[in-house]
Amino acid sequence: MAGSRDRSWPPLPEPLPHPVVDDHTHLDHPAPGAGGFGGGSLPPTLAEQVERAVLVGVTRMVQIGCDLPAARWTDAVVRQEPALLGGVALHPNEVPLHAGVREVAPDGLQPDPREHHAVPLDDAMAEIAAIAAGNDRIRVVGETGLDFFRAGEEGRRVQREAFRAHIALAKELGLALQIHDRDAHADVVEVLLADGAPDRTVFHCFSGDAAMARLCVEQGWYLSFAGTVTFGAATGLREALREVPLGLLQVETDAPYLTPHPHRGRPNAPYLTAATTRRLAAELDVDLEHLCRTLWSTAEDLYGPW
């Protein structure tokens, strides 16, 4: 991406023939430099995000709050905005910071602790559990899992413990589990099989190959595809997609990250779920409306009524 980057919002995709759910988004994360939908300097409000998504048929979204401030925010907004259900967890990259693990990551990019990381890991986990138990619009424990990209040995150890605590919480509360798996496929599967996965387990932003997809399908786990599936080099991911029965499929943005092709480098938002959904239909060679209806009913199976 040479030259000055275009940070403006991508145009609205063509509306879908039947509504879909954005299975995983972070409406609390600002999209740096993007401004408002109309070109003003202020970022879009939550109401504007929902309104723009609804215009193209993305009428429901699962808001994921995966650090303490984001979980508190999610707890509040899902009570006010009927288009949203919520998920809460401590992201695997948050866990070492709460545990006081200060390893230098292999890429040297491990973030500095922020104020909320002064809360010890056990207390932070207890707060997540209390939010999940105390709000009937929180339907997901996630995103949780393992992220070996930025973790050394000690970081991986505490991530694994926290992942197991999140699995136990999802089972205790009867909630769906959303998995974050970065460079840790074998270990994630091992923990899930050892502890017993919750009935509704979703790999968010699935990033495995066809063999990994087959393994997940055998276990009855759900695979959610983000904008990464549209990237030019992602042929292995598209092969994985073709292993997934429609009934185990979900679509998501992971906004404001992972903006689908041809808008890479620009900010992402739930309305762009419509673009990725069209690409899924094309890759799978299925009728778009049939795909949308199936994604919609699967989301209700996973998360219950909105």
The residues that touch Zn ion, with contacts defined as CB under 5 A, are: 254
Residue nearest to Zn ion (CB): 254
Shortest reach from residue 4's CB to Zn ion, in Å:
28
- Order of strands, edge to edge, in the sheet holding 84-88? 20-25, 58-65, 84-88, 138-147, 176-182, 201-203, 222-225, 249-251
Q: 268 or 294, CB closer to Zn ion?
A: 268
| Closest distance to Zn ion from the beta carbon of 25 (Å) | 8
- Contact assessment for residue 86 and residue 138, using Cβ atoms and an 8 Å cutoff: yes
The strand pairing partners of 145, in sequence order, are: 180
CB of 287 to Zn ion, least distance (A): 29
Write down the least CB distance from residue 61 to Zn ion, Å.
12
Is the CB of residue 32 less than 8 Å from the CB of residue 41? no
The distance of closest approach from Cβ of residue 178 to Zn ion in the complex, given in angstroms and rounded to an integer, is: 8
Cβ-based nearer residue to Zn ion, 27 or 197: 27
d(CA 138, CA 244): 27
Calpha distance 256→270 (Å, rounded): 8
How far apart are CB 139 and Zn ion at their closest, in Å?
16
Question: Of the two residues 141 and 281, which places its CB atom closer to Zn ion in the complex?
Answer: 141
| C-beta of 179 vs 281, nearer to Zn ion | 179
d(C-alpha 201, C-alpha 198), whole Å: 6
3-state SS of the chain: helix, strand, coil percent to 5? Answer: 45, 15, 40
Q: Which residues pair with 61 in a beta bridge?
A: 22, 84
Residue 12, token pair as written in the block: 């609205």
Minimum distance between the CB of residue 26 and Zn ion, rounded to whole angstroms?
Answer: 6
CB atoms within 10 A of CB 61: 30
Nearest to 274 by CA among 10, 8, 7, 22: 22
The CA distance from 199 to 178, in Å, is 12
Residue closer to Zn ion (CB basis): 25 or 277 = 25
Among residues 181 and 254, whose Cβ is nearest to Zn ion? 254
Q: Which helix (H) or strand (E) holds 132?
A: helix 121-134
Tokens representing 2 are: 């040479």
Cβ closer to Zn ion: 110 or 268?
Answer: 268
Instruction: Give me the least distance between CB of 27 and Zn ion, in Å please.
Output: 11
Residue 132 or 281: the one with the smaller Cβ distance to Zn ion is 132
